Amino acid sequence: MAAMDKQGAHGKHTTAIVAVGLAAARRVKQEAPQVPLLFAGISDPVAARLGDPHSAGVSPWVPARPLARHMLAILPKKGPIAILHAPGRGAEMAGRVAHEIEAAGRKAILCELSDENAQNRELVSASSAGAWIVLVDRKVIGEKLFNRIQVAAEKQHIPVGVSEEEYVRRGALVGVGPDTHRIGRQLCRLAGALVRHELPEGGNVFCPEYSFAAINITVAEKLGYVYDFRDTKQVKVYKWH
């Protein structure tokens, strides 16, 4: 946690507190509920009830448009793209990603993974696609189900893109992630707007302004893909032996 101080008539007082992570944010809410809170590094700020008028922060989720742009830059240029997602909010995000993919002239196939029967059925349906995008969901598409998806994709030599950078380490070809350095700058701007009461009404949780594609170059080599990164912006490359 970090406090932002302001000199007043009676000395220095805390103008706002910056919290990174859910535990830190909850501590601020408990110990200093009257002080404006700025937060980052929380997977679901809305569910954590951090969207109140005295809080503002940046979620770690990359919006649909840049997510689709990063995926289209790395995944194969031909064939439909299957989007594997959880129901509910996952379906909403999948619809937005599909819209962006189709706006770019590609076909998108939506595959909702709810119960085990649906998972088996949708994985078979997705096998006709040239690539998969998996929208990771902690409650439905977590580590266990992702491993099943990854095994199925590897058997069919289908490249996989993911909505979280950490799953690139688990065998996906490409993932997306926010630029954490620039999130700090974004929080500074939000801090000024928060203390001046200039935030848009009902708009206290913001998406990261900058993002990048994380590529597992070891997986790319196995699939026979060669990239010229001189023509690809906002890319982070991982290689494991």
DSSP letter string, 145-171: HHHHHHHHHHHTT--EEESSGGGGTTT
Count of CB atoms situated within 10 Å of the CB of 87: 16
Residues in the chain: 241
The band of 232, judged by pLDDT with boundaries at 50, 70 and 90, is low
The band of 12, judged by pLDDT with boundaries at 50, 70 and 90, is low
Residue 214: predicted pLDDT:
92
Q: Give percent of the chain above pLDDT 90.
A: 45
Segment among 22-36, 110-124, 226-240 with least mean pLDDT: 226-240
- CATH 3.40.50.2300 segments of the chain: 64-177+212-238
Convert the pLDDT of each residue in 153-193 to its tens digit: 999 999 999 999 889 988 999 999 888 888 888 888 888 88
CA distance from start to end of the chain? 37
Model pTM score: 0.82
What lies within 8 Å, CB to CB, of 112 at 6+ separation is 85, 86, 87, 90, 91, 94, 118, 122
Does the domain at 64-177+212-238 match CATH 3.40.50.2300? Answer given as yes
Residue 159: predicted pLDDT:
96
The band of 209, judged by pLDDT with boundaries at 50, 70 and 90, is confident
